[in-house]
Chain A
Amino acid sequence: MKEPVIEMRNITKRFGDVTANENVNLSLYPGEIHALLGENGAGKSTLMNVLTGIYKPNSGEIYYQGKKVSIKSPKQAVDMGIGMVHQHFRLIPPLSVAENVFLYMPNCSTVLRQKEMEDAITACSKEFHLDVDASAKVWQLSVGEQQRVEIVKLLYRGAEILILDEPSAVLTAQEAVEMFKVLRRMADSGKSVIIISHKMNEVMQNADRITVLKNGRVEDTMEAKDATVQRLTKAVVGEREFVPQIRDSHNYSEETVLYVEDLSVKNDKGLNAVNHVSFSVHAGEIFGIAGVAGNGQKELTEAVAGLRRAENGKITVKGEDLTKLSIRKHIDKGVSFIPEDRLSMGLVPGLDLSENMILKHFGWEKFSRKGILKKKAIDEITKDYIQKYEIKTAGVHSPVGLMSGGNQQKLLIAREINGSPSLLVASYPVRGLDIGATEAIHKILLEESEKGTAILLVSEELDELFQMADRIGVMCDGNMMAVLNREDADYDTIGRLMSGEKL
């Protein structure tokens, strides 16, 4: 067998009392795609941050091509050929693709020649069949395209080892397939790839080897061909049985909670994003919205939550016309919103868990009296949530920005659900969650709907919608193509509607 390019030996990394990695061993061979799996907070991101020089391990060694090295900074890692695409991209929106790539070149000439830069990048991306337009501005690109820019950035700087933190979480199914083709091509050319993922099927199909982390330790490591869903599930969450939550009967009431009529909404660029959409969601109903991301779902949900102005049409909640009313009015009327952008909208990373818990409800009697916050009570309630939803954190007073991605999501959902909403708008609520947490969230959503909450569930995963929704509306290009009962819907029909074909 070949020599590993990277060997991490006995890596331990602690943050105060939290041990994020403990005696982790990981080897990476040239030409392989290696997948890292594990629960939220298992230490995957931390391990990769150690490898790319962002964190220094408390103990342990890293060997690069058999030689012991100490990686002191991301820059040094890049010079050694190790590059990482973070879950939150680090591109500068007003600059062009070429400018973004060259921004990181240490020794390019002072005078930048636009044409030369673009040609160089086009050549580099051609090599791996990465489809990017070097002259486009980054803000114009879709998430999938931005990710390709991040990859080009690394390739152009000569990366031999690419690390991608949950790369498929934000991609459409089609984009994910494309991305894995690119990654495979890179592996075939002798480079090595590490991907972090929560999606077992995707990992089994695309990776060569799989390592599962649990509580900071390596739980299992295997060849992808030896992997089964059972074995992976067991390694990720332990012996617990997982029965997918399936909604058996749908007996939602006649009462209409959300009524959207002829709604049109513009996006940030001022273009029509939602065109004359009408639908209604009843008490106790889960109404799924299917569609490739970027077809108006974001604008639709934001309009329903009161965050975006309706250009046309009407939004009614429990009989009250909320179209022109403030966000506060929406919240008071019982509209909860799990936005897709949790870190910049749903949570304040610089504040602690308790403070984030009361973000919308600090005025409630149980949280404050006559404008004075009940600190003790708030902490107690936050602790309850932490326990109930199994949120991993260093404590109610540690900043939310330091929590792992999945745990941030759980906190956000806990808050939104505990407002006893009459309408819950949930955008991709399980994005970035491990299977255990996904099941837990699905269970919570089902319980909520049993209680009579109307739920608007936006998802790209058809499986999730078939499992959860009573009715499914399909969006394409800002239009509601059709609304189907779950019994009448199948993958094929929905897939065709999603791509714009009429019924």
Chain B
Amino acid sequence: MRKLRLEKKSTSSGLSILLNSLLFVALALVFCGFIIGAVGFNPLEVYGKMFSKAFLSSRGIRKAIESGLPLMLCGLGVSVAFRMNLNNIGAEGQYAVGAIFGAAFALYGPKLPGILGILALAVCCFTGGALWALLSAAPKAFWDVDESITTLMLNYIALILLSYLCLGPWKAKGQNVGQTEKIAENLALPEISGLKISTAFPVVIVIALLLFGFYKYTASGYQINVIGKSLTAAKYAGINIKKNIILVLALSGGLAGLAGFVQYAGITGRVQENMPNNAGYTGIVIAYLSRFNPLVVIIVSILFAGLQNSSATVQVMGVPAQIATMMQGAIMIIVIAGDFFQRYKIVSDKKGGRAS
């Protein structure tokens, strides 16, 4: 009989990682299919509808990119920290504070001409997120306080602050919902003419490319890698761990803060009470699935955004919207479990050694 067993693999190529991930996404879809079936719908029909709505029309793709933008930045931010083994669970809060800083600039800041205003807005959002992350980074660096707890706790504070401002002092006049006034024309990010896609998209791609180069070609990226892989060796090599904790968490939070920027200046035009809307948490999932590779983060974000958008469309069929959330969860768990097969390979005992 042909028996299967596991053997440790020495290397895995990029392609095999991709194929593996796709395989496990497919497996997750099959799993969810059973549940959709159990709720009383035809899974094939539901998937077909979702897929065609989200990815087969130019409108669907545009929407997916648009809603994917904050996810991308949160995913990129989280990845930076995770690469160094820093568990930044706080992208949600950093996003919120980034948006708050942005709104504050738009409301009270100096009126700068042209592109300068937009740049200043972006810098404010980045700074907001970075400062919020530093609230966790400093205790981590100096007293070894667990950053996963502090970043998580700070999320609640940031979100409450955001809704207070949006429902209170910054609330737009004559509105029922908690949101600020519309952003000034010169601060809004324009669309790429003809494509109807926000210019934020190419900007995010450039950020991802920069990060990719940063990891691969810079001494700082190298240090992050070393610390992430072996703290003892990093100390032995004289790498300044404290400084890197501060820098990396600030960068991580700043990127999440930029999610506030693209959403505010590129999409909604207003800062809203519930603006992050779990993008910070989804960003963690995306970072994991992308294995912290910034370019993959872009793609996975678009797929996730499409998935979320399409769940709204199948609601018309009566399928609960929570289906999308469930699918996200299932995909993550199954793909991460599948990570195991990345490190081990299944070998059959029949071929190769004739020892049976």
Task: Tell me the A residues contacting B by CB distance below 8 Å.
Answer: 15-16, 54-62, 68-70, 72-73, 306-307, 326-328, 330-331, 337, 339, 344-351, 355, 358-360, 362-363, 368, 371-373, 375, 398-399, 402
Contact = CB atoms under 8 A, between A and B. Distances in A.
24 contacts: A16-B10, A55-B7, A56-B347, A56-B353, A57-B353, A61-B353, A61-B354, A68-B355, A69-B355, A326-B240, A327-B237, A331-B237, A345-B233, A345-B236, A347-B233, A348-B226, A349-B229, A359-B237, A363-B219, A371-B219, A372-B218, A373-B222, A375-B217, A402-B10
A327 B220 contact: no
Contacts of A360: 237-238
Specify the main secondary structure of chain B where it touches its partner.
mixed
Nearest to B355: A70
Contact-residue size bin, chain B (C-beta under 8 Å from the other chain): 20 to 34
Nearest to A402: B10
A68 B355 CA distance: 7
B355 A350 contact: no
Interface string B333-356: 000000000000001010011111
A350 B233 CA distance: 11
Nearest to B226: A348
Nearest to B228: A350
CB-CB nearest 6 A-B residue pairs: A328-B238, A70-B355, A327-B238, A350-B229, A348-B230, A359-B237
B217 A373 contact: yes
A197 B100 CA distance: 65
Contact of A56 (B226, B232, B352): B352
A363 B240 CA distance: 13
Contacts of B3: 72
Contacts of A55: 7-8
Interface in B219-271: 219-220, 222-223, 225-226, 229-230, 232-233, 235-238, 240
Contacts of B5: 56, 72-73
A351 B355 contact: no
B233 A59 contact: no
Interface of B: 3, 5, 7-8, 10-11, 217-220, 222-223, 225-226, 229-230, 232-233, 235-238, 240, 347, 349, 352-356
Given A54-B8, A331-B238, A355 B222 contact: yes
A72 B220 CA distance: 43
Contacts of A68: 355
Contacts of B347: 56
B3, B219, B229 — which one has the most chain A CB atoms within 10 A of its CB? B219
B355 A58 contact: no
A344 B232 contact: yes
A348 B353 contact: no
Given A15-B10, A59-B354, A70-B353, A359 B233 contact: yes
A384 to B, nearest CB: 20
Given A16-B10, A70-B349, A362 B233 contact: no
Contact of B349 (A58, A72, A307, A344): A72
A250 B136 CA distance: 56
B12 to A, nearest CB: 11
Contacts of A362: 219, 222-223
Contacts of B7: 55-56
Given A355-B222, A372-B217, A16 B11 contact: yes
A349 B229 CA distance: 8
B355 A62 contact: yes
B10 A58 contact: no
Contacts of B229: 348-351
Given A61-B354, A371-B218, A372-B217, A344 B223 contact: no
A15 B345 CA distance: 13
A399 B224 CA distance: 17
Contacts of B8: 54-55
Contacts of B349: 56, 70, 72
Contact of B219 (A337, A345, A346, A372): A372
Given A346-B233, A350-B229, A371 B355 contact: no
Contact of A60 (B225, B226, B232, B355): B355
Contacts of B217: 372-373, 375
Nearest to A306: B238
